[in-house]
Chains A and B, each alone.
Chain A
């Protein structure tokens, strides 16, 4: 008799305990790594915005834009009413998205006159998008301290294969994408899409 019934039960219990603890540790380290990354990069945008506000900004003065690299901090996304303030990473591969909401590679850069697509996990800050309503203000601050403001046009749920929200628009748009429904574990078959149009400074003044 190598193992009694009781011994087998306890061994299985120990295996399950260790496996469970390891999974929790993995989940925790992914989350903590995201926090560290967010904390490290949020300050950069704050100082960039401050220095840009202090210096008189000439339009032709801005340095030539350089295409961002995958996994690099791209912009700071703020939605004051929804309580979202998060650093956007370049790229929507799983590794990039584990750091924060990701900018779809190939879509327009923030503020550019085309469709800028940002996708995020629903368990991160983008989970708060469920409260988004048309008229909400979204702000994207770039590395150089430039700020682009957008107003939410529509909130909709589309199928997983419906890539129309991702296509170029020819107009300065911002499209935020996250999983739908919000509470299901694992893969989701639908996407929650928030579309916004850019406000020029005058438009923002009128609205506020």
Chain B
């Protein structure tokens, strides 16, 4: 898979061109909208408390802070009720839904893990503001709801058409330029 130029030096050009193409499925997967699962003991415990409060999980039937089978089943049940793919994982969407169920997760800035407080949403989001990255991410989903957004015309011109056109032009021009000149 190499081409030989005039001076006889080997160039891995076709391989080089294939590299970005190999990236396509990878980038399509990483652009997925479900974030990495929340797995720390504090986060799991916070989720368990909310699940118990909403009767998805029975008190004493699970081990606090651990994703045991009972907890996974409760998460699955919760996900099914909320039209989330029932993976049983605490992914970003599931946590956002859990948080919206009447409880605000307030990140404990000292320990860096999430703890649940039956606080109102305004308090929750201000308290969580200086907390660690994950904690503030959880609380961000609770804030910013309800304020009326000014209605402006959405930008409905997608990037795909011009990307495709420009890409095709560059690809075609590049092929013409890179072609070996016939002697």
Contacts and interface: CB of A to CB of B under 8 A. Distances in A.
B60 interface: no
A201 B52 CA distance: 41
Nearest to B169: A20
A12 B155 contact: no
Interface string A24-52: 11111111110011001000100010000
A18 to B, nearest CB: 7
Contacts of B176: 13
Interface in A150-195: 160-163, 166-167, 177-179, 185-188, 191
Given A23-B163, A27-B163, A107-B151, A16 B170 contact: yes
Interface residues on B, range: 35 or more
B155 A20 contact: no
Interface stretch (A53-61, A78-86, A90-98, A132-140): A90-98
Given A73-B83, A166-B151, A21 B181 contact: no
Contacts of A98: 158-159
A5 to B, nearest CB: 10
Contacts of B141: 69
Interface in B37-70: none
B157 to A, nearest CB: 5
A17 B175 contact: yes
B172 to A, nearest CB: 8
14 contacts: A16-B173, A18-B20, A19-B170, A20-B169, A20-B171, A24-B163, A25-B21, A29-B28, A37-B33, A66-B100, A99-B33, A124-B158, A177-B156, A179-B157
Interface of A: 6, 9-10, 12-33, 36-37, 40, 44, 48, 66-67, 69, 71-73, 92, 94, 97-99, 102, 104-107, 117, 119-124, 126, 143, 160-163, 166-167, 177-179, 185-188, 191
